[in-house]
Structure 1
Amino acid sequence: MTLETDVALLQGVPAFEVLTPEAVRILAISADQQRLARGDTLFKVGDPADCGYVLLSGRLELSTDGPGRRRRLSEVLPGALVGETALLIEVPRPVNARALEPSVLMRIPRGTFLRMLEGFPEAAAHLRERIATRLEATIADLDALRRARLEAPVRPPLHRR
């Protein structure tokens, strides 16, 4: 792919739509492509996270490990950013990511992303607003779940005769 193609692909990622073309160009210049065959693991729960990935083609499954089985959380389609938290902070991967079919990803290193934000403070402000909005929505969802669990009627125990 050409640099211009990579820039166009990154500009189509919703998380990057607040970035200027120059900021996206910086990300594209430092990004590496990674190919996965069907069934290949991109990362596992607990792996160190030092980058985010943009899925260019294919499909990924995000899952968690449960007692004796894997629980599927979501399917990722082209154009999605995977592991965006790792672009900002050092944190272990919270999920597993596995290719459901042959896939091509663009790997964006955290260091590059943070340097881009330093050079484009307006982009950092837009991203901060976007993250704050998503965090507020997540907190509201968690509060609703907590209330539902705490306020759910308690079933009396079944009596056997």
Structure 2
Amino acid sequence: MKRVLLSMAFLRERRPRSSHAKKLEWCFHMNEQYAEMMRTFPLFKGFTPQGAQTLLGYGEVKEYSKGDVLLKEGDSPTFVLVVLTGRMQIYVEREGREMVLNETGPGTILGELAVLACIPRSSSVRASEKSAVLHWSAKAFRDLLLWDPFLSERILRESIRNLIGKEKSLIDSLICPASPHEK
């Protein structure tokens, strides 16, 4: 996906500004803010402002309200998300009961393993407060990984760390079963 970045000077030259120009200016300003914010996330540390803008250009920023479901367990993996603002709850449903597995926030990448392995989503994700995410299609995500080996390595490392953490948590829960009042 290619996007044309408009200069602020171009937007200011047009007087009076139409509602479309105002919207473009607002989008440009928000993208600059999101690009700066992304550079503070461990996953994207070391990226230049232009590099962060490129990451944004490969996707689309979407906003969600509290309770909105972003990923649904069992769905096909058609996109990857990076949490920009807000909090997300990762959960599964078993035997009619919902179990929250984790809560996460800005800088977290979600759905990458399902896209990389071409397997259905293993859990659902919902916004636990108003949130903004960077939404990459599966193709754009793969293109990004090919474009930047440094990013590929970081994403792979982060994904493996998460998997190992989940495995350790599972082992701990099997070794130390829940107390009687938790059953």
Which of 29, 34, 43 is equivalent to 1:6? 34
Match of 1:112 in 2: 140
**Unaligned residue ranges in structure 2 (runs of 5+):** 1-26, 178-183
SS of structure 2 residue aligned to 1:54: strand
Residues 51-130 of structure 1 mapped to structure 2, 5 A cutoff: 51-125=79-153, 127-128=155-156, 130=157
Contact kept, 8 Å, 2:38 with 2:84, in 1: the verdict is no
SS of structure 2 residue aligned to 1:91: coil
SS of structure 1 residue aligned to 2:43: helix
**Unaligned residue ranges in structure 1 (runs of 5+):** 153-161
In structure 2, how many angstroms separate the alpha carbons of the residues matched to 1:96 and 1:66? 12
In structure 2, how many angstroms separate the alpha carbons of the residues matched to 1:103 and 1:148? 36
Over aligned residues, Cα RMSD in angstroms? 3.2
Q: Deviations over 1:76-117 (max 9, x none)?
A: 222322223245332211111112222221112221222223
Contact kept, 8 Å, 1:18 with 1:127, in 2: the verdict is no
Q: TM-score, length-normalised on structure 1?
A: 0.70
Higher relative contact order (CA 8 A, sep 6+): 1
The CA deviation at 1:56 is 2.0
Q: Percent identity?
A: 25
In structure 1, how many angstroms separate the alpha carbons of the residues matched to 2:77 and 2:159? 21
SS of structure 1 residue aligned to 2:93: strand
The CA deviation at 1:141 is 2.7
* Greater strand content: 1
Q: TM-score, length-normalised on structure 2?
A: 0.63
